[in-house]
Structure 1
Amino acid sequence: MRGDPGSPKRLLAEFLRDCLDESRLTSVESLARAARVDKATASRYLGGDTVPPWRFVQTLLKEVKDPDWKRAASLHTAAGAAGPDVMRRRLDELERERTLAEEECARARKHAEQLSDLLMHKREEEKQLTRHIRELEAGRDGKVQDLAVQRDALVSEIEDLKQELADERALKNAAERRLEELTREIDELNERLARAERTIRERARRALHKVTNSMPVRATTACTGSAYLGMVHQALPAGPLRNLIPFCLAVTVWIAVGVKGGGALSRTTAHVVLAVVAIGVFYLIGMLIPL
């Protein structure tokens, strides 16, 4: 295995392998199918080569009889602390918090149900003792007094259970509200991430379209200018003036194509430049060659 033996990625991988041994899954292939990834990806996660997403960790821990969610969240946070994508790292953190909130809600509901059952049981015992006391009120005073003491203790225990049940229900309600907030924030972050990716793709498409459309204008302008100056070159007699035409040809192509990075000129602007060059050439011809 690559990496520092004490690195967060290595510790997370060892924790995941231990969970796989304790889970109902029989192999890496079955884990990959449950997490909807290929076997090679699951092997990299378990080998410590790559930090898995929280969904992969969550899928594995749901197959364990008594999972340690807090340790899993701590190891996953430490292993992914240096991740390159801020939004995806925040998304994983929110997913971990939501999993812990779900676990807390389930624990609070279970505890509240147990307390409710215990409270009902204690109330039934209190009713039975009350009936028994009434039945024995005409009998021995000592036994009646003992039963009265037991009843008072039971009433006090019932009050304590009532308070504990109220506190547990308050914790459950707080956990459920936190779960709703995390779910809403995750949905908003997913939407922002999708919009960012769409914007990047649209900008790349527009840049490619702009470059592709500019190439025909450059090529057409360069060919037109070359043709104009070629005809002038053929019409002139041999001499210094005719030797000047190749230089004009190079300048025209340079202007039309935009070799200095200024971008291609428009078709109309390039034709105007060529017309001005041609007029200048014919003017020189008229001055140097007598009619």
Structure 2
Amino acid sequence: MTLMPLSSEIPDEAKNLSTELRRFFDSLGISVRRYAARHNYDPATVSRYLNGKRVPPWPFVQDLLTEVAENFGTPVQQDAYEVIRKLHRLALEVSNKKLYEVQVLQDRLAEADKEHKLAELRERTLLEAMQARQHRIAQLTSETMAINSSLLEERDRSERLEKEIKQLLPAKDELTTLREEVRALKEQLNRAQELSEQAEARCQELEDQLQAAEEAAQSGNEAREQEELQSALQEAAEAKAQADVLRELLEQIQKEATPNSEPNPAKGPKRPRRDFPLRRKTYAEQVKDKPAAAIAAELVKMEISGQSSAAHRAISDIAEKFPIQKIGELIVKTSAMSESTSRTLLMGVGDYRSPAEIIALIRERGTEIVGRGSDLASQLILWFSWDRQAADIFKLVALLRHENWNELATECLAGAAQHQPPERLVHLIKSADPADRRTLLDFTASSRSTEKIVPLVAMMQDPKHVATTSELLTILKKEYPSKFSDLEKLLDAIGPLID
């Protein structure tokens, strides 16, 4: 079925509309009958619409514009769309006043609904912004309370130290006195040793004299020599008695100079010894020698028996402190029994372990299947990138590239772009080199909704980072035009908040 020339009897408004509709229809290169079959229209009705004999309903016009856009792979320009809309309303007003009034009301309803959606979107965005600030307030409040608690602890510790110092002052005086007494006793000891040596020398001299006297007595001078002998014996006895006295004095001085372990009643009671309790073993230390299957069964049993808090503490302790060589096997064993327990363990490993340990774990068991058909390496990368600091993210990416695991490095950046909190993601983007920054911006644009992109744009209003914001908006405009359009409208609606 071919189109007839436009009749001169139809109004100019209808003729103008039909001319534009024909221009769009002719660009499709199909017959009226085929177009009608595609859209379930009567061919005669489509012909009357295009010949200007009847003003088509607005949905017919929208279907035609959509068909043209799909045929050429590009949306109809907004200016052309507005021209067709204006021509349609003028033609409808001339041909059918009541339908025109109905269409005007429908247009107003659509506009009102659009404004309502924008208002809801603005409300949600403002609510999220308010919640983010409330969360930050709560976080700062918690940090302030922790600091105050630390200050109180330091003050209590300072007071305890002052009390201990005061208690040590008498001991200090006692120590000074004891040192003086020891010094005096050492002097007396040295003097006693000298006297003892002199007495020993005198004894030896007298013994020599006695031996000479005995020899002289044997030679015939008995009377004189007997007298000398008695005198020598008396002097020897006196010297021996003096030596014994000096020896006893020396022993007494040595006892007094020796430190006494018993308390001195005159100096006050001995200070009690502090007994510190033994440290209780952690869960990881308790089970470190058990087989991985037994540990996995114990963790799953705790979780399904209602001991979720105990299970969480045990899993966190293992994730943080368990030998990295055994964690991979434990994750695999746990995954075979309970996906939720395995996921909690993976989250803990991602939170606590260093980039180097993550690399070691991937190298050992990265190809093992855990969870819903995903390998262990991808799961580890996902949970690591969820909430780690920028330095850890870039360190892991560098190590992955060093191992030629470039796909995993890209997964790490993608996970960070999708899941990191807005503040950390902005810091991550600002800290990245140009190539990684482009990767982060690409995944941010593709994975985040319009509502989640708005806070990022708001946080990157620093003049130093205008280029980064511009790059993100360029990616959105080129690759995701509908998302960019919604973002523009939302930014216009909440402009005062961003400024």
TM bucket, shorter chain: 0.3 to 0.5
TM-score, normalised via structure 2 length: 0.23
Tell me: higher relative CO, structure 1 or 2? Use CA pairs within 8 A at least 6 residues apart.
1
